[in-house]
Amino acid sequence: MKVELIPALKDNYVYLLYEKIGGPATVIDPSEANPVLEKLDELSLSLNKILNTHHHFDHIGGNEELVKKTGAHVYCSTYDLNRIPEAQSGLKDGDHIDLLGESANILEIPGHTMGHIAFWLAKSKLIFCGDTLFSLGCGRVFEGSLELLWKSLHHLAALPEDTMVYCGHEYTEANLKFVKSLGDESVELSTFEVDLAAKRNLGRPSLPSSIKTEKTLNPFLRAKNLADFSRLRIQKDSFGA
């Protein structure tokens, strides 16, 4: 499974999945259509599925035009069926859909929004988790509760540690500042910081991360309990991002 990271809007990532040049493709969270259409053209891919992790405009903005131009089928959570443009099929926790011959597992991970889902490809060891888990961070609570988000993050943390994590935004550098403000001076964090600077200085994405990295460094996953987590998330709200 090949994953193309397409930067879109200010700091979103759209993910294009395909097996081979000239074959079928699936797109995840197309915030806008044009960069996706350009990439499809460049790689001679035909888009047949659009997957949305949640209903926020910066994850669905390209749905209408992509459906019009390619006829792709749109999947999202059953919860979001009535608020995502062009949505056709609703998904629930434990459902599977075929992605280019591989079975993708649907995980319900509410908290950022109530209808938020993730797409987990166990065989390829990939998780697409939208705005729930970020590298060194997590999403804000817009519709759910801190408790729901805490449970969802632990749902993700229970995946195999070598699972690669594809998040909805390039927030890693800002999140690192927050982690450092908490006083983390570990060798692991210093090594991460050097690697991150090397990637970003070359204009490369910081993503994907991995479940192992996030379990080691992400303060929201390392929080001891819900109270600890909640304090941290509220602190982050006023820190910015």
Residues labelled catalytic: 54, 56, 58-59, 112, 131, 169
| Helix, strand, coil distribution of the chain in percent, nearest 5 | 35, 25, 40
Q: How far is the CB of 123 from Zn ion (least distance, A)?
A: 27
Query: Minimal distance in Å, beta carbon 97 to Zn ion?
Result: 21
Task: Write down the least CB distance from residue 54 to Zn ion, Å.
Answer: 6
How far apart CA 16 and CA 118 sit, in angstroms, is: 15
Q: Which tokens sit at 50? A: 């659009």
Going by their DSSP bridges, the two strands 209-210 and 164-166 should be labelled as antiparallel
Q: Are strands 46-51 and 133-134 parallel, antiparallel or unpaired?
A: unpaired
Which of 8/25 has CB closer to Zn ion?
Answer: 8
Q: Shortest gap between Cβ of 146 and Zn ion (angstroms)?
A: 16
| Interface region with Zn ion, contact rule CB under 5 A, candidates 69-77, 80-88, 129-137, 220-228 | 129-137
Residue 127: its H or E element: strand 126-128
Q: Please pick, from the candidates 56, 155, 169, 236, the single residue that binds Zn ion as defined by CB under 5 A.
A: 56
55 touches Zn ion by CB under 5 A: no
Q: Say how far residue 47 (Cα) sits from the centre of its chain.
A: 20
Applying CB under 5 A, the span of 14-22, 75-83, 126-134, 180-188 interacting with Zn ion comes to: 126-134
Give the binding range for Zn ion (CB under 5 A) out of 16-24, 45-53, 127-135, 206-214: 127-135
One of 4, 29, 108, 131 touching Zn ion (CB under 5 A):
131
| Residue among 55 and 155 whose Cβ is closer to Zn ion | 55
What are the tokens at 54? 């949640």
Residue with tokens 């999945």: 17
Stretch 151-210 residues interacting with Zn ion (CB under 5 A): none
Window of 30-38, 49-57, 75-83, 215-223 that interacts with Zn ion by CB under 5 A: 49-57
| Cα dihedral 66, 72, 73, 77 in deg (nearest 10) | -40
Q: Which two tokens stand for residue 67?
A: 């459906």
Which CB sits closer to Zn ion, 39 or 56? 56
Shortest distance, CB of residue 99 to Zn ion, whole angstroms? 22
- DSSP calls for 187-215: HHHHHHHHHHHHHHHTT-----EEHHHHH
Q: Which amino acid, one-letter code, is at 174?
A: A
For Zn ion, how many residues bind (rule: CB under 5 A)? 2
Nearer to Zn ion (CB atom), residue 144 or residue 219? 144
Phi and psi at 31, nearest 5°, equal -70, -30
Q: How many helices (H) and strands (E) does the chain have?
A: 9, 14
The distance of closest approach from Cβ of residue 56 to Zn ion in the complex, given in angstroms and rounded to an integer, is 4
Binding site for Zn ion (CB under 5 A): 56, 131
